[in-house]
Amino acid sequence: MATALTAVEHDIGGLFVKRLLPNQQKRMVGPFIFFDQMGPSTFKAGQGINVRPHPHIGLSTLTYLFDGSILHRDSLGNHLEIFPGDVNWMTAGKGIVHSERETFEVRANNHSISGLQCWIALPEAMAELEPSFNHVKKQDLPHLIHEGVMMRLVVGEAYGLSSPVKTYSPMFYIDVAASKGSTITKPHPNQETAIFVVSGRVSINGTDYSQGEFVLLDEQDNDIVVNECGRFIMLGGQKFDVVPYIHWNFVSFNKERIERAKQDWIDGKFPSIPGDNKEFIPL
């Protein structure tokens, strides 16, 4: 039967998040090894998100917003603002540094933020890829509209659609808005699947779930029934045979590689971010 996972709250650079993966009950869902709910939060002028430069290895990061914006900078020289519905996909591979802040115009006024951040573990054979960055606007993502259900395929493949975002293992991440009475069948019966309820109420095999719940579907759980108009994220992918290690911002199948990354950050061997190199998050 489906299982709802309990979140743990954390503070990341002035923003409180609810962390749902990794979890004591389930460390990964497909390649998804980290799942944070950001907000909804409001800030007064002069306050806001201020995540200083920090490193990653062995993963891709996915930032997907419902409200507000985030200013992304990285050591490849990318510098852009993320808006709701856009895909911000950064592959760390052998090592990248990025920061998450706000533009002057956002910070100078009262503002809000709401969204999700995920880490997607790279397969072991691809863990040392050259770092890369991909940003896709919402209008360039595949959509499916049918009988009261609207879907946006953010990454991966599902329902005969394919996202332009390059991924490295079988996976899917779908934004669903649906009317009451709709039934959505999970896209890949043989892949691990979870949903995060953004709003409204759904049921899986007769059990109701509501806003803010992260639900892991069992192999027998094929359908999501919408009991109250709303929105949910459906994500998952092919199960990893081996779960990689996580330490701080590093993901690897090799503990020695993580130790080397830790020392490289201490020694200043990671690349710096153009225009944002005056401060950093210590190990």
Using the predicted structure, report yes or no on whether residue 13 has a pLDDT greater than 70.
Answer: no
Does pLDDT of 224 surpass 70? yes
**Closest to 74 in 3D by CA, of 279, 283, 277:** 277
Residue 74 has pLDDT above 80, yes or no: yes
CA angle 243, 248, 251 (to 5 degrees): 35
Instruction: Give the helix ranges, DSSP H, for 202-274.
Output: 255-266
Q: What is the pLDDT of residue 11?
A: 77
Q: What is the pLDDT of residues 98-140, one digit of tens each?
A: 999 999 999 999 999 999 999 999 999 999 999 999 999 999 9
Quote the CA–CA distance of 187 and 276 in Å, as a whole number.
Answer: 41
The structure tokens listed for 176 are 């669903």
- Please provide the DSSP assignment of 39-67 as one string: EEEEE-TT----EEEEEEBSEEEEEEEEE
Encode pLDDT of 59-68 as tens digits: 999 999 999 9
Bridge-partner residues for 19, per DSSP?
8, 36
- Please check the confidence at residue 15 and state whether its pLDDT lies above 80: no
CA dihedral 228, 229, 233, 238 (to 10 degrees): 60
Which domains are seen in the chain, by residue range? 3-237 (2.60.120.10)
pLDDT of residue 149: 97
Q: Identify whether the C-beta of residue 152 lies closer than 8 Å to the C-beta of residue 198.
A: no
The whole-angstrom separation of Cα 23 and Cα 140 is 33
∠ at Cα 93 (89, 96), nearest 5°? 75
The H or E element spanning position 149 is strand 149-158
Average pLDDT over residues 45-72: 97
pLDDT at 162: 98
